Structure 1
Amino acid sequence: MRTDEEITRLVGPIDCLEAFPTVDELNAFADALVADYPDRVSSTELGRSRGGDPIREIRVGSGEQHILVLGNPHPNEPIGMATIRHLLGRMVADDAVTVGATWHFVLCVDPDGTRLNEGWFAGPHTRTGVARGLYRPPATEQPEWCFPTVWRGRSVGVPLPETEAMMALIDRTRPALIASLHNAEFGGGFFYTTGGDPGYWTALTDRLVAADIPVYQGEPDVSGARTLARGVFELPLFEAMADLLTARGLDAIAALGGGGCRDYTARYDTAILVCELPLWADGRINDSSAGDRMLGDLLDATAVEYHAMAEAAAGVLARVAGRLSGHSPFERSVRALTARLPGIAVSRGSVPGRHRIATKGEIFLEQYNTAAMLRLRLGGMLLRLLEEECRRDACPELVAERDRFAALFDQWCADIEQNAPGTAVPLARLVGIQAESVLLAATRLRAGLAI
């Protein structure tokens, strides 16, 4: 049987999905599997989140090679939880889907943050609908980027309880493969790997092409990542990322937090696959025709936008100084992102090729991919902060600032909905791509091929 045919059979049909599972819904699904298949499925509590939620591992299969699948390492990226639900259902229905490995599914790496996003899981699935309910933690509160490592003789990375739970699982299983399931809000799809060969990389991006999702060909969102093939990047170690950020004049530790799972699993020679899929796709990201401006001018204009975003948020925070409780996760995220934006603006000056004509795809990416994504994230969380604080204390200063900023955020949203709303990718299609990619890596692992 051809590899593609085998993977299609292993993944099986995926029912139409209208919503992402919540933390409680995925836990209930796992509990039902454990109850119905006690001889094939087991559940282990790896630890507790900062908010007291269990970090759960669901184990299925009995092979010598161990595969870890991480769900929701970033709490605003829930495709992975739906993918885990599907893969678990397939594996209990057909043992062949385990491809001879022992699987360890971490249902939700960050349940606390995920709960703060659940308001948009059932829709409306529009860019601004999601932005109004979004929460994205700062780097120091992202479990997958708080692994301990050493950089330039300095210990970095303070593991969160959720990180420590992953570390314990990694040390116990010494996995051959970790699949970390991510998604972006907008643009195209791409992958990070720690190895492989051209056949593997092409097979990954073939998943995107078959699903009619543009293959992202811009700069990777992880600093220092090397391009392996179209839409496939090498996941770098912390050292490479931090060195590059430092060379650009940025605070590497503030931007990164700590090491990633690659840094921690290097001792076990673990292969890593990161699946990055967009909730909304737009083919304009790959328009290679010549645009109407120089790349340097485009980058300078984007830098101005980053500064403007930071100034808008900083102004709001200054005007409500003394009125905030100081305990909101939204405040920590807004302050961290506001502090990062000027450095991101400065980094635009070090992008090579500034004296050539920008392509239309590059213009679109600069205007409506990263910059617009950060504007919506910042604006949505800042508005949620102000609304939260107004519920606590509806003083005139807070109410006025909430109303003032809500009007500005409405303008940001209107720009997106008019110029780059994207085409929503059916949720079942996104689950299919992630499931196929993970099983592609697993079947190659079984065959002794490079991943």
Structure 2
Amino acid sequence: MSPLPELRYPTVTEVVASAQALAAYRPALCTLRQVGRSRAGRPLHLLSVGHARRAVLVVAGAHSNEPTGLGTLLDVAGRVVRDRTLRADTAWHFLLCADPDGASLHVTPAPRSLFDYHLGFFRPAGHEQPEWSPSVLPPDRLPPETRALTGVIDELRPYLQVTLHGTDLGGSWVQLTKDIPGLAEPFAKSAAELNIPVETGASDAAGWPASGPGVHVMPAPGAGAAYPSMPDDARNSTWYHAHRHGGLTAIVEVPMWASDLVDDPTPHPAPAVALRHLAGRLLRDAGQVRRVLDEARPRLVGVDGPLLRAAEWGLDLVPGLAADWMHTAPADDTRAYVGSVEAFGRRLPLRAAAMLRRVLAEHGDPAAPRLERLMATWSDAFAERFRARWVPLEHQIRHQSRTVVAAALHARDRAG
């Protein structure tokens, strides 16, 4: 693994302070207002730059373990303030953090390694994630963060919503709810310039058509799911809410550590066999975490909270997902896709172990050191297998920022 980054990811508090300073510096151009509160009462802030009716909405912090977007949001906002042409006929709006409660629980601002990153890991269970909750919950049970986000979309009616995501180890890719012609070229050019691999077979977009390498367009409603067991459907998420107003959503993913194994479009010699092997390892790895949980559960009577719920939720996904990999034809036959699935299979039990370890350590449970040793072994094996190399933070931000602006310009041409 690469040495400690010189820079670190900003906290939500720092992002809010920067937005306040920007609004104070350019009060005629920028406004900062509260648009809701989280479940724990934390404010949700929206920074607006410009006054045109045509709008772009940029959302950061939807997944607490994907910190690059906070820095990217500030970078794009500063660029819009400096470049009059970007706001000549478009107002830009920035939801500073969609899940501040989650951000308060993920605590790795400058990870030195994958193990270090996972020591402070948190990612909520699916139904507690602001963007994903509408795909698994009825409308009357949606969390306040989701209602705030959809309320902003309904108010602004953006022609483009960009939501800033990331991955711990892999490559960069874009998911679109509608195609943006012309985006693939600047996206690929930016990635190449910064030596960031393009994840051409991202498992998150398994079975989606591509408008260019790493640019995946969501299938039309009614298309079959690549992983039938997965409980959510992106077409029911907040990504699709912009469609009510004629808009679309772009999800821009960037890696913290890069791996060229997810950037190989050549055919895999036996993808189905490989996926069955990966399914077996997923079951074995998750089984080790499940046994620790089952052993510790009698000692955790009365213990609850987002970390434990998320760990259990991740473990509950495993049997169905492994069955999908064993019994469903691969959505893609490339080495890049098999590599992306392998990364997913290593990631899921590691994350569950990381969050369960935090719960056990907090309560002084004797099983916590065992999970920590398992995390260290899995993190090192993950990094070694994928030949992980740190992507400088400024490169993560620059690539994501460039892609956001390119998506806005090309989508504006599409919208007319």
The reply on whether 1:413 has 2:413 as its aligned counterpart is no
Structure 1 segments unaligned to the other structure (5+ residues): 1-15, 391-397
In the TM superposition, residue 318 of structure 1 has moved relative to its aligned partner by 1.2
Counting aligned pairs with the same residue, the percent is 27
Larger mean Cα displacement after TM superposition, 155-164 or 138-147: 155-164
Structure 2 segments unaligned to the other structure (5+ residues): none
In the TM superposition, residue 133 of structure 1 has moved relative to its aligned partner by 1.3
The 5 A counterparts of 1:40-51 are 40-51=29-40
Query: 1:6 matched to which residue of 2?
Result: none
1:250 pairs, out of 213, 216, 229, with: 229
Query: 2:345 matched to which residue of 1?
Result: 371
1:267 pairs, out of 226, 231, 244, with: 244
Structure 1 residues 421 and 52, CA gap change in structure 2 (3 angstroms) = farther
1:339 pairs, out of 302, 316, 341, with: 316
Q: Name the count of aligned residue pairs.
A: 411
2:275 pairs, out of 299, 314, 317, with: 299
Kindly indicate whether the alpha-carbon contact (under 8 Å) linking 2:181 and 2:410 is maintained by their aligned counterparts in 1.
no
Structure 2 Cα separation of the partners of residues 265 and 157 of structure 1: 20
Query: 1:285 matched to which residue of 2?
Result: 262
1:100 pairs, out of 76, 89, 105, with: 89
Amino acid at match of 1:416: F
Structure 2 Cα separation of the partners of residues 267 and 97 of structure 1: 25
Query: 1:442 matched to which residue of 2?
Result: 408
C-alpha RMSD over aligned residues: 2.8
1:207 pairs, out of 167, 190, 209, with: 190
Kindly indicate whether the alpha-carbon contact (under 8 Å) linking 1:146 and 1:258 is maintained by their aligned counterparts in 2.
no
Amino acid at match of 1:339: D
Amino acid at match of 1:274: I
Larger mean Cα displacement after TM superposition, 61-70 or 32-41: 32-41
Deviations along 1:293-320, one digit per CA (max 9) or x if unpaired, are 7323211111111211332122111111
Query: 1:23 matched to which residue of 2?
Result: 12
1:139 pairs, out of 126, 138, 144, with: 126
The reply on whether 1:116 has 2:116 as its aligned counterpart is no
Structure 1 Cα separation of the partners of residues 282 and 323 of structure 2: 9
Amino acid at match of 2:110: A
Structure 1 residues 50 and 107, CA gap change in structure 2 (3 angstroms) = same
Structure 2 Cα separation of the partners of residues 289 and 104 of structure 1: 40
Give the alignment's TM-score, normalised by structure 1.
Answer: 0.83
Structure 2 Cα separation of the partners of residues 272 and 440 of structure 1: 13
Query: 2:145 matched to which residue of 1?
Result: 162
Structure 1 residues 268 and 258, CA gap change in structure 2 (3 angstroms) = closer
1:381 pairs, out of 350, 355, 367, with: 355
Structure 2 Cα separation of the partners of residues 197 and 444 of structure 1: 6
Amino acid at match of 1:123: P
Structure 1 Cα separation of the partners of residues 182 and 306 of structure 2: 43
Kindly indicate whether the alpha-carbon contact (under 8 Å) linking 1:310 and 1:342 is maintained by their aligned counterparts in 2.
no
Deviations along 1:153-205, one digit per CA (max 9) or x if unpaired, are xx578421001111111111111110111111111111112334553323322
1:176 pairs, out of 154, 159, 165, with: 159
Amino acid at match of 2:398: G
Query: 1:9 matched to which residue of 2?
Result: none
Structure 1 residues 23 and 321, CA gap change in structure 2 (3 angstroms) = same
Structure 1 residues 258 and 110, CA gap change in structure 2 (3 angstroms) = farther
In the TM superposition, residue 236 of structure 1 has moved relative to its aligned partner by 4.7
Query: 1:426 matched to which residue of 2?
Result: 392
Kindly indicate whether the alpha-carbon contact (under 8 Å) linking 2:39 and 2:145 is maintained by their aligned counterparts in 1.
yes
Structure 1 residues 114 and 407, CA gap change in structure 2 (3 angstroms) = same
Structure 1 residues 444 and 284, CA gap change in structure 2 (3 angstroms) = closer
The reply on whether 1:55 has 2:35 as its aligned counterpart is no
Deviations along 1:202-223, one digit per CA (max 9) or x if unpaired, are 3322221222211112144145
Structure 1 residues 308 and 22, CA gap change in structure 2 (3 angstroms) = same
Query: 1:11 matched to which residue of 2?
Result: none
Which has the higher Rg, Structure 1 or Structure 2? Answer: 1
Kindly indicate whether the alpha-carbon contact (under 8 Å) linking 1:41 and 1:58 is maintained by their aligned counterparts in 2.
yes
